[in-house]
Structure 1
Amino acid sequence: MSTLLEEVRHEIVDIHEFFVAWFNGTIDRDQLEPRLLSRFDPDVVFIPPEGHVAGGSGLKAMFERRYGTNKDFKIQIRDVTIRRQIGTVVLANYTEWQIGATTSHPSNNARVTSAVIDMGSPLKWLHIHETWLPEEVRTAGSFDF
């Protein structure tokens, strides 16, 4: 039987595998809605490490613009934990290690993410907030993946 942590980890890894395929241009463009946007709550909030706030329509426009723009991009997800669970809603933390991220500086970077996900049916991402990992953590970490 699957545990909640395994389900959350699978969801986080799966959505990031989609990001890689999308930015690499190795998935069909018609997969944006069924494989990604349908997973986001209409009022989703995304805050990247730079600190600006994006919502559903802004995320859709960003993904549409960046299809196939980053052929060497890779992500590895590490350290998935569940911090809180209230009913079907979980607050999860994980680290995301990126290689070749052309829209980030440095292009090899690492961030810690807090995500609020309703694991009910249908599953919905409600809130995502990323923060740069400190340089000493990135330096000590491995980008070999």
Structure 2
Amino acid sequence: MTGPHAAAGGTVAGGVHRTDGTARGTVAGGVHAADGTARGTVAGGVHRTDAGGSREAADRAACRAEIVRLHEVLERWLSGRAPRTAEEFAAFARAHLPGFTLSGPDGSSLTRDQVLAWVEAAHGRTPGIGIRIREVELVAADGPLLVAAYQEWQRGTGADRNRRATAVFLRDPAAPHGLRWRHLHETWMPETPTG
């Protein structure tokens, strides 16, 4: 694990791994404490292991939560259950960094602007869509970057094709779950299992 093992109280900046339960100061963004005792101010991601948790478990949980959150936003938008407002669309758009790229399962390569334009125009076009995320795995975490793999199962689209995906995230304490999307690579799954 990276980051200093700090035992002193006060203000801490960056990714700090704590095992002694003595964090004090100001907390801003992504605090992961298994025992709920983190106090004070920390800028960046603080990861606590004093109750059996770990930085890896916290990163895995953050990736899973963000992947599920964004797909719930996307499902509501595509189905039309979300109103077509700038605020609702921003919940999807803000998740993607300016340099975001998508490698689609058909081999296409899209920029952030192209993805956002497609999603914005697709509001309400798939009223019966259901998206489920399965088997989220943390592939790598190094400094500000995290890589996660998962399965995306879609129903109600007329062509229920499931896909495997690999996402690259950049840590951002101001973002939901402390992560923003940098790249997404999707591949069609060879078969569509039932269930």
Fold-level similarity (TM above 0.5): yes
Is 1:101 aligned to residue 157 of structure 2?
yes
Deviation at 1:53, TM superposition (A): 0.9
1:67-93 Cα offsets, whole Å, 9 max, x none, are 000000111100000111111311100
Matches of 2:113 and 2:161 in 1, distance apart? 26
Partner of 1:53: 109
2:166 alignment partner AA: S
Deviation at 1:126, TM superposition (A): 0.3
Q: Which runs of 4+ in 1 moved over 4 A?
A: none
Partner of 1:110: 162
Partner of 2:28: none
Q: Which has the higher helix share?
A: 1
Map 1:70-109 → 2, pairs under 5 A: 70-102=126-158, 107-109=159-161
Segments of structure 1 that go 5 or more residues without pairing to the other structure are: none
Deviation at 1:120, TM superposition (A): 2.6
Partner of 1:32: 89
**Bigger relative CO (Cα 8 Å, ≥ 6 apart):** 1
Matches of 1:108 and 1:121 in 2, distance apart? 35
Matches of 1:120 and 1:58 in 2, distance apart? 23
1:25 alignment partner AA: G
Partner of 2:120: 64
1:20-61 Cα offsets, whole Å, 9 max, x none, are 10001111222112x011110111001111111111111121
When normalised by structure 1's length, the TM-score is: 0.87
Largest Rg, 1 or 2: 2
Kindly indicate whether the alpha-carbon contact (under 8 Å) linking 1:89 and 1:120 is maintained by their aligned counterparts in 2: no
User: 3-state SS of the aligned residue for 1:60?
Assistant: helix
2:96 alignment partner AA: F
Partner of 1:120: 172
Deviates more, 1:2-11 or 1:73-82: 2-11
Segments of structure 2 that go 5 or more residues without pairing to the other structure are: 1-32, 35-57
The correspondence for 1:15, drawn from 49, 54, 70, is 70
2:162 alignment partner AA: A
Partner of 1:44: 100
Deviation at 1:134, TM superposition (A): 1.0
Deviation at 1:94, TM superposition (A): 0.1
1:107-145 Cα offsets, whole Å, 9 max, x none, are 11211000001133243200000001112xx2xx23x4x
RMSD, aligned α-carbons: 1.3
Matches of 2:112 and 2:153 in 1, distance apart? 24
